[in-house]
Amino acid sequence: MKRAKSLFIVALLVVFAAAIAIAAENKGAKNSGGEKITVDGGSKGVVNFPHKIHQDELKDCNICHAKFPQELESIKKLKDKKELKKMQVMNEVCLKCHKAYKAEGKPKYGPINCNGCHGK
Ligand code: HEC
Ligand code: HEC
Ligand code: HEC
């Protein structure tokens, strides 16, 4: 009897854990963030970043989010904490890719000039 009871409890726990895992997964799938996000661009002016175009084009979130978490203003917070340098994301993520795509001769590569991103 005792054994059957503990088996039952174990089974319940397994079902419960699975439900939590599924809920967490659904939440992840839903929160893909805004289609357009205004990123602080310091003295050069805001960057109106087309998030969804990039998600659709690149598929892999970590191309960018390996450097900063999936939260609004996360880049600014990391810069304030000196965990990211000024213009580090701009140079090592954004421009790096746009320039590489251009050099590879890809037809679509995104802006390389300052005003293509800033103040628009
Ligand atoms: C080309 C770069 C890039 C890619 C790829 C990318 N993101 Fe983002 N994401 C950003 C930037 C930039 C921000 C804004 C960060 C800030 O405000 O400091 C952001 C912010 C977010 C936010 C918080 C903002 C909001 O509107 O809630 C979420 C959530 C997010 N991204 C999810 C995702 C997911 C999920 C993927 C993959 C499907 C993804 N991102 C792919 C660049 C990217
Ligand atoms: C592909 C888009 C893009 C282009 C092109 C671009 N920037 Fe940026 N820039 C950003 C983003 C995103 C940020 C905020 C993240 C960061 O600081 O790395 C930024 C931040 C900045 C900052 C603020 C840094 C701070 O923390 O105070 C300055 C200044 C700046 N850029 C100047 C320039 C100049 C000058 C050019 C042209 C030579 C340029 N940017 C081209 C996207 C771009
Ligand atoms: C791995 C490659 C890659 C990365 C990283 C990337 N981009 Fe782009 N970006 C592209 C491509 C490709 C396009 C052209 C998309 C199109 O025209 O459909 C583009 C287009 C753009 C455009 C122009 C969109 C339009 O409507 O014409 C802006 C602005 C831009 N990117 C800003 C940024 C900023 C800011 C970052 C960094 C936070 C960034 N990109 C990171 C590949 C990238």
Residue pLDDT, tens place only, 20-35: 565 555 444 558 999 9
Number of the ligand 3 atom closest to the C-alpha atom of 48: 29
Ligand nearest to the CA of 68: 1
Ligand nearest to the CA of 36: 1
**Position 90 confidence tier, pLDDT thresholds 50, 70, 90:** very high
What pLDDT, on a 0 to 100 scale, did the predictor assign at position 89?
98
Q: How far apart are CA 87 and CA 66, in angstroms?
A: 16
**Position 7 confidence tier, pLDDT thresholds 50, 70, 90:** confident
What pLDDT, on a 0 to 100 scale, did the predictor assign at position 88?
98
Cα of 49 from ligand 2 centre, angstroms: 12
What pLDDT, on a 0 to 100 scale, did the predictor assign at position 11?
72
Q: Is the CB of 97 under 6 A from ligand 3?
A: yes
Q: Is the CB of residue 49 less than 8 Å from the CB of residue 55?
A: no
Q: Which residues pair with 48 in a beta bridge?
A: 38
Ligand nearest to the CA of 38: 1
CA distances from 48 to 12, 52, 88, 97 (A): 48, 12, 17, 17
Q: Is the CB of residue 75 less than 8 Å from the CB of residue 69?
A: no
User: In terms of Cα–Cα distance, which of 46, 47, 42, 39 is closest to 86?
Assistant: 42
Cα of 112 from ligand 1 centre, angstroms: 20
Q: Sketch the domain layout of the chain as residue ranges.
A: 1-31, 34-117
Number of the ligand 1 atom closest to the C-alpha atom of 31: 29
Residue pLDDT, tens place only, 38-75: 999 999 999 999 999 999 999 999 999 999 999 999 99
Q: Which CATH architecture best describes the domain 34-117? A: Alpha-Beta Complex (3.90)
- Quick one: the chain helix, strand, coil %, rounded to 5? 60, 10, 35
